[in-house]
A and B are shown apart, each in its own frame.
Chain A
Amino acid sequence: MANFLVWVVWCVAAFACLASALAVVSFSNPFYSALSLIGNLASLAVLFLLLSGEFVAAGQVLVYGGAVMVMFLFVIAYLGDRTDESPWSGGPSWQIVGAVLAGGAILAEVCVVVGLKAAGFLSSPHHVTRSFGSPEAIGRLFLTDHLIAFEVTSIVLLVAAVGGVVLGSHARRIEGDART
């Protein structure tokens, strides 16, 4: 019974994930695209929970669904309504054909590799304890085995914050020059 319920939850989350990803790509209004990306991130968080990644699922909802998407929506609202572009690329049709072929090639490669080589290997996951993926386990790993990754992440975030400030001040100076 539990197995059946997990399958139902997985199928609903996977369908929501794919449908919202297609919606992100195909809406012509970026505001609707950003809203459907929130649905994509939420259904991915459900999949993370099924893989017993509780901390990552919570971080996904907080960091992505909260902070990053609010930033996106602010920028889209700031730039205003500019939906005059056609939803799809206006380039030559060989570009569209090439893009679809490339996307299909990625998909086919992964499916062939999984089907031919890795199917037996992938179907026997290790047994994990209940504390797997808990905040305590993740924090312990971050502060013992992966301390360098932790510090490098903080430097990356600092550099990105400085870059955002520099880009913003530069744009403001150019705007002031244009006004005077």
Chain B
Amino acid sequence: MHGPDISWYVVLAALLFATGALGVMLRRNPLIILLSVEIMLNSANLLLIAFARLHGQADGQIFAISVMAVAASEVVVGLGLIVAMGRRHVELDVDKLRTLRG
């Protein structure tokens, strides 16, 4: 295998995951929290594919594709909630959504 070995990918994925986690914990706009969750899911995908390459078996890539489908579903539901909030003219701020009553 040319180029960097798998430990470089692991460190890069850890950096990406920490960045996404910081975004989830620090930001208040639900749209940006969803985008940060995407970063975290993608760092996990990078690890899955890196370890699939390490072991020479493509099962990790199958798992990564399943994670992609789950991420797409999560985006659909999350954006649906955000659009519902926007239609009710609720302020887009997760700190102010203390109750989830319908």
Contacts and interface: CB of A to CB of B under 8 A. Distances in A.
A96 B72 CA distance: 29
**Chain A facing B: main interface SS:** helix
A37 B73 contact: no
**Chain B facing A: main interface SS:** helix
Contact of A60 (B14, B68, B83, B88): B68
Chain A interface extent, by class: 35 or more
Interface string B51-87: 0111110110111111011111111110111111011
A133 B61 CA distance: 7
Chain B interface extent, by class: 35 or more
A100 B35 CA distance: 18
Interface of A: 2-3, 6-7, 9-10, 14, 17-18, 21-22, 24-25, 27, 30, 33-34, 37, 40-41, 44, 47-48, 50-53, 55-56, 59-60, 63-64, 67-68, 71-72, 75-76, 78-79, 82, 85, 87-91, 95-96, 98-100, 102-104, 106-107, 110-111, 114, 118-119, 122-128, 132-133, 137-138, 141-142, 145-146, 149, 152-153, 156-157, 159-161, 163-164, 167-168, 170-172, 174-175
Given A44-B46, A91-B95, 17 more contacts: A3-B3, A25-B22, A27-B32, A30-B31, A37-B35, A40-B39, A53-B61, A56-B45, A56-B49, A72-B34, A89-B27, A99-B22, A111-B14, A133-B52, A138-B65, A157-B73, A167-B77
